Amino acid sequence: MNLTQKDIERSLRGAGASTNTEAATRSLLDRAETEGLLDVAYARLDSPFGELLVAETGKGVVRISFGEESPDEVVEELAWTVSPRVLEAPARLDPVRRELDQYFEGRLHDFTVPLDWQLISGFQTKVLRATAAIPYGETRSYGEVAAEAGNRRAFRAAGTALGRNPLPLIVPCHRVLRAGGVIGNYGGGPEMKEALLKLEGALPDA
């Protein structure tokens, strides 16, 4: 008997009553993937800055959210923009969970998990590719990132592109500052941005 997505979701909700919840959930997720019903896997991960929601496709990490973004709204957004076949599958996110943990502990300087860039297009692609190349412990201004993206005058557009970054932390928009080194805005708040830069040694601790 083939499973439908509703069958999978119904079974996962009922897995809490199972005597072996983890095994039952893994079995259902394996069947979902085998039968082509799992295009986007997501997990809620703990961090020093609160809960993160991380999602991936077969190509790589496609979305990271935190701060004021509602996890339920992000999952709904993924269903509309990527695929309706979205399921919570924490084990699938173990590699990125490990790298994020190591990053927050100061032990990881360069992420190696693959990325899926499908939620990014146009000038934003150039801006975020340039941002992804900023080394750990360094910063750039919006103008410098705009220049790297091919239009040094488009610093406001660069700021907009960074504000819509679907892959924060891994694509380190926190390393982009206003002119004069002013911290500026950030999805998790300026305090989180400052803390990340201090973690990386890009700002003095005091």
Catalytic residues: 173
How far apart CA 20 and CA 110 sit, in angstroms, is 37
Q: Which of 138, 133, 184 is nearest to 160 (CA)?
A: 184
Question: Helix or strand or coil: residue 150?
Answer: coil
How far apart CA 62 and CA 110 sit, in angstroms, is 17
Contacts (Cβ under 8 Å, ≥6 apart) of 121: none
How far apart CA 98 and CA 144 sit, in angstroms, is 32
HSE-up (13 A, CA, CB side) for residue 11: 18
- CA-atom Rg of the chain in angstroms: 19
How far apart CA 43 and CA 15 sit, in angstroms, is 17
How far apart CA 128 and CA 81 sit, in angstroms, is 19
- DSSP-derived letter for residue 151 is -
